[in-house]
Amino acid sequence: MQLTCRTGVEPTWRAADSSRSMGTVGMSHAFGGSFMSNPRPPAPGNSAWRGALLWPLLAALLVGGVLVAWLTREHGHDAEPAVQPTESSTSPPAEAPPAAAEAITNSIGLKLVLIPPGRFLMGSPAAEPERGEDELQHEVAITRPFRMGVYEVTQEEYARVMGRNPSWFAPTGNGRDRVEKQDTRRFPVEQVSWQDAEQFCRKLSDLEAEKAAGRTYRLPTEAEWEYACRGGATAAGPFFFRKPSAALSAAQANFNGSFPYGDAAEIAGLGRTAAVGSYAPNGFGLYDLHGNVSEWCQDVYGKDYYRESPKEDPPGPKAVAGSGRVLRGGGWLNFGDNCRAADRDWLVPRQGNNGIGFRVVSPMPSP
Ligand SMILES: [Ca+2]
Ligand SMILES: [Ca+2]
């Protein structure tokens, strides 16, 4: 079912961002800085009496005052939070990504970060629990830098480009009860088919402001997605935040936390999508790779593709009638094992559901 309501919302990025940082999820990553006031030392009292005996006392008071000022200042420094917000109060500073300086915001307010070229091990090692047969581990090189959406495409961004918001978890969607009193503009768009996602990329590329900036958009290849998901980590592993993780609980990502991965604690999930960026980012500064919504990739799905794929920039198999398209990363309804970096899933390109969204990439122009 496709709803065709415009959201008709004005851009209020900052307001939406600050509400995000105050969200009920990911609070363990939230910035918990406290502010100490720096009390000034009391000013020495005035006196008209000029008795010579008072001068040493006044001098002592002055020295004491300076000493108190110095001590309280030092104390104040000690009490300052160890980590300062680097960019804005919206990003969890403890997880400040190294690539933050390379981020840009495009004409619809969509933020992208530069992903450098590199090599990585795509797929999973044979010993990784719950792995699929289609995850044969092999080395892949991404030879060109590209920009990638820091977040999944949001409802607001989607509506701005497409003129409608098909999302289930929206005031106009069937899941409105589950997001009552929530501002869903920064929630990921869902109920989008692969065809919808492709059309979004085309329409975004056709915007005058984007053309003027020389930017085009497309879905990531499956290899680009997994490379980006691993956040520059060279070691294999199922999950990647600032550091690799062998386990996943609902404190780390938005998924069905009743079925965590590894030795992680069982924590109930939200049972819905959440504002993008509510959980910790990975080493490239990307958010929600392991949850929230599964993400469409450009590629046709090929179960045995890894056996024959080129080592450099694999584009995916050729499409034939009935080909599925690749989905990556788990969503709010998935179990932990479906959220692994190497996990692969697919769906026919004309279908979508309320657990499926996407993020975009923008190739860097050739030098
Ligand atoms: Ca996701
Ligand atoms: Ca799978």
**Residue closest to 255 by CA, chosen among 31, 25, 2:** 25
Q: Which ligand is nearest to the CA of 276?
A: 1
Q: Taking the alpha carbons of 316, 346, 364, 145 in that order, is the dihedral positive or negative? A: negative
Task: Please report, for residues 2, 160, 231, 239, the alpha-carbon distance to residue 5 in angstroms, rounded to integers and kept in the order given.
Answer: 9, 12, 36, 37
pLDDT along the chain (367 residues), means of 10: 31 29 29 29 36 45 42 34 34 42 91 97 97 97 98 98 98 97 97 98 98 98 98 91 96 98 97 98 98 98 98 96 96 98 98 98 88
Q: What is the CATH number of domain 102-367?
A: 3.90.1580.10
d(CA 336, CA 254): 10
Structure tokens at 268: 């109930």
Q: Which ligand is nearest to the CA of 357?
A: 1
Calculate how far, in angstroms, residue 291's C-alpha sits from the geometric centre of ligand 2. 14
What pLDDT was estimated at residue 234? 81
Residue 77 sits at φ, ψ, to 5 deg, of -60, -45
Calculate how far, in angstroms, residue 338's C-alpha sits from the geometric centre of ligand 2. 6
Cβ pair 333, 250 in contact under 8 A: no
Spatial CB neighbours of 359, under 8 Å, sequence gap ≥ 6: 148, 149, 151, 152, 153, 220, 295
List, as one string, the DSSP characters of 109-155. Answer: S-EEEEE--EEEEESB-TTSTT--TT-B-EEEEE-S-EEEESSPPBH
Calculate how far, in angstroms, residue 116's C-alpha sits from the geometric centre of ligand 1. 21
Q: Which ligand is nearest to the CA of 290?
A: 1
User: Coil, helix or strand for 307?
Assistant: helix
CB under 5 Å of ion ligand 2: residues: 132, 343-344
d(CA 346, CA 349): 9
Q: Which amino acid is at 366?
A: S
pTM of the model: 0.74
d(CA 203, CA 184): 22
What pLDDT was estimated at residue 63? 44
Calculate how far, in angstroms, residue 346's C-alpha sits from the geometric centre of ligand 1. 14
Calculate how far, in angstroms, residue 46's C-alpha sits from the geometric centre of ligand 1. 66
What pLDDT was estimated at residue 35? 27
Task: Please report, for residues 31, 134, 137, 296, the alpha-carbon distance to residue 131 in angstroms, rounded to integers and kept in the order given.
Answer: 35, 8, 11, 20
The contacts found for 132-139 with CB under 8 angstroms, 24 or more apart, are: 132/343, 132/344, 133/303, 134/303, 134/304, 134/306, 134/344, 135/306, 135/342, 135/343, 135/344, 136/306, 136/307, 137/236, 137/342, 138/306, 138/309, 138/311, 139/311
d(CA 200, CA 155): 12
> Would you list the domain boundaries of the chain?
47-75, 102-367
Calculate how far, in angstroms, residue 279's C-alpha sits from the geometric centre of ligand 2. 23
347 φψ region: left (φ > 0), alpha (ψ -120 to 50), beta (else) = beta
What pLDDT was estimated at residue 101? 54
Q: Which ligand is nearest to the CA of 128?
A: 2
Calculate how far, in angstroms, residue 126's C-alpha sits from the geometric centre of ligand 2. 14
Q: Which ligand is nearest to the CA of 335?
A: 2
Q: Which ligand is nearest to the CA of 277?
A: 1
What is the chain's length?
A: 367
Calculate how far, in angstroms, residue 258's C-alpha sits from the geometric centre of ligand 1. 18
The contacts found for 60-69 with CB under 8 angstroms, 24 or more apart, are: 65/41, 66/41, 68/41, 69/40, 69/41
Q: Which ligand is nearest to the CA of 281?
A: 1
Calculate how far, in angstroms, residue 110's C-alpha sits from the geometric centre of ligand 1. 16
Q: Which ligand is nearest to the CA of 294?
A: 1
